[in-house]
Amino acid sequence: MKIGVIGSGYVGLVAAACFSEMGNKVICLDIDEEKINNLKLGIIPIYEPGLDTLVKENYQKGSLDFTTDIQVLLPNVEIVFIAVGTPMGQDGSADLRYVLNVATTIGQKMSNPLIVVNKSTVPVGTADKVKSVINHELSKRNINIPFSVVSNPEFLKEGDAINDFMHPDRIVVGSDDAETINTMKNLYSPFTINNDRFISMDIRSAEMTKYAANAMLATKISFINEVANICERVGADINNVRIGIGSDNRIGYKFIYPGCGYGGSCFPKDVSALINIAKEHDYYPNLISSVEEVNMLQKEVLFKKLTKCLGNDLKGKKIAIWGLSFKPGTDDMREAPSITLIRSILSAGGIVNAYDPKAVNEAKFYLKDCNVNYFSDKYSALEKVEALVLVTEWKEFRSPDFILMKKKMSDYFFIDGRNQFKTKFIKEKGFKYIQIGVKS
């Protein structure tokens, strides 16, 4: 099939690369010229395991191309995906500016029948808005070209995005047109050999499914973090409690790891957008609002533990941070808990030595107003620090050289925001080990 993808970020680029890998002819577009020029040179704008090879190989084969020109894309495709950002607006709702700009351009420039697919995460009712914007532009041109609008939310996880896209748990497609659903089914058939994974429904339910899925996962995270905070106060150990409840397969082990709060480009903005959607429809979502509130407080937990160790005045005290991205396997810094922690340390007068395997450049952008010392090696970041805070659980932090760490550090507070180690094991190495959800 001939496919266009508008927006070449985490979702658009992965989708374009995976569709082209399956033998489709794909054109990927972005308004960011530098990004498109770099992609043509094989320079990938984001860190996502396996993406660079897929993009380079398919570009060289001619099954994947890049452009900034919508006039190159639209006449040569039958399905066009909208995969631009839907960031959090000032009031917490989803900002639809980019999606509706794309819809306007499609209406202004399309010349052949199209299936327009919303892959961006958008509030319920957005497909109707996209449809009416395109219709409005077509009527201004005084022409009638058939098109349909489909909702096809994306469920990939950054850090494992290629695997998720190639082997999805489910493909959700919302459309009111049987022929369009059939075309979408054919497009996704190489990814869903088991047809049960293709779920078609009405458009509004498909739009809502994405928010409900993210809100459910965020709820599990805030739930376990709240239980961890209670454990700490009553002298229970969240690491045991987690295993105790996860063994009940109605609960399961996934997404019940205690930590320093969820971040990233999806959960914070999607939870917030869902709260807004509910309020706009005269419903106050008590549970989901609390999920958000618990998460905001949880992002401050590591700083509180740090000041409990070093005192409230951190003036001149050097602290190392291992891991900056919001989770391992990505360089994405959007809403990362490390940002909250670093800002708090600096405002209390502390000095921050930071290390991350992939996210340093992104961190420099998100913390451009902050004076942070960045290191390209995790041990160098420990030179004369009084405390180490582990924020992101990259694999390389799982089995570090504890002897070398101790040699570098001037004091041995080790605050683990991801509960990676057994307390007894780390204490035997001579560290003052502090975890989340365990009394210290």
Q: List the catalytic residues.
A: 266
How far CA 416 is from CA of 65, 74, 200, 222, 431, in Å, comes to 44, 50, 43, 18, 11
Does residue 107 touch ligand NAD according to CB under 6 A? no
- For residue 330, the minimal CB distance to ligand NAD (Å) is 8
Residue 320: CB minimum distance to ligand NAD, A = 28
Q: Of the two residues 210 and 317, which places its CB atom closer to ligand NAD in the complex?
A: 210
# chain residues binding ligand NAD, by CB under 6 A:
26
| Subset of 212-271 contacting ligand NAD (CB under 6 A) | 265-266
Q: Is 8 in the site for ligand NAD (CB under 6 A)?
A: yes
Residue 122 CA, chain-centre distance (Å), reads 15
- Binding flag, residue 83, ligand NAD (CB under 6 A): yes
Segment interacting with ligand NAD, rule: CB under 6 A, options 83-91, 352-360, 383-391, 408-416: 83-91
Q: Which is nearer to ligand NAD, 240 or 361 (CB)?
A: 361
From the list 30-38, 179-187, 222-230, 416-424, the region that binds ligand NAD by CB under 6 A is 30-38
**Interface with ligand NAD includes 10 (CB under 6 A)?**
yes
**CB contact set of 426 (below 8 Å; sequence gap of 6+):** 402, 414, 416, 433
* 38, 76, 101, 229: which one binds ligand NAD (CB under 6 A): 101
Q: For ligand NAD, which residue of 3, 5, 9, 260 counts as binding (CB under 6 A)?
A: 9
Does 207 engage in binding with ligand NAD (CB under 6 A)?
no
Indicate whether 372 belongs to the interface with ligand NAD (CB under 6 A).
no
Rounded to whole angstroms, the Cα distance separating 379 from 389 reads: 13
Task: State the DSSP string of 82-113.
Answer: E-----B-TTSSB--HHHHHHHHHHHHH--S-
**Among 150, 25, 24, which residue's Cα sits nearest to residue 82?**
150
The answer to whether residues 116 and 73 touch, using CB atoms and an 8 Å cutoff, is no
State yes or no: residue 310 binds ligand NAD (CB under 6 A).
no
Provide, rounded to whole angstroms, the least separation between the CB of residue 87 and ligand NAD. 8
Angle at Cα 263 formed by Cα 250 and Cα 395, nearest 5°? 80
Bridge partners, 258 (sequence order): none
Select the residue interacting with ligand NAD from 64, 77, 96, 102 (CB under 6 A). Answer: 102
Q: Count Cβ neighbours within 10 Å for each residue of 132-146 and write b for 16 or more, e otherwise.
A: ebbeebbeeeeeeee
CA of residue 56 relative to chain centroid, distance: 23
Distance CA 26, CA 16 (A): 6
**Mask: binding to ligand NAD, 111-150, rule CB under 6 A, as x and -?**
---------xx-----------------------------
**Identity of the residue, 83 or 436, whose beta carbon is nearer to ligand NAD in the bound complex:** 83
Alpha-carbon gap, residue 12 to 41, rounded angstroms: 18
Report the nearest approach of ligand NAD to the CB of residue 297 (Å): 24
* Backbone region of residue 156 per phi and psi (left: phi > 0; alpha: psi in -120 to 50; beta: other values): beta
Token digits for 192?
């869903």
Q: Would you say 239 and 213 are in contact if contact means Cβ atoms under 8 Å apart?
A: no
Structural element, H or E, at residue 36: helix 33-40
Least separation, in Å, of the C-beta of 315 and ligand NAD? 38
From candidates 18, 19, 30, 147, binder to ligand NAD by CB under 6 A: 30
Closest separation in Å from C-beta 28 to ligand NAD: 9
- Span near ligand NAD by CB under 6 A; candidates 4-12, 18-26, 139-147, 185-193: 4-12
Binding site for ligand NAD (CB under 6 A): 6-12, 29-32, 35, 83-86, 98, 101-102, 120-121, 154, 156, 158, 265-266
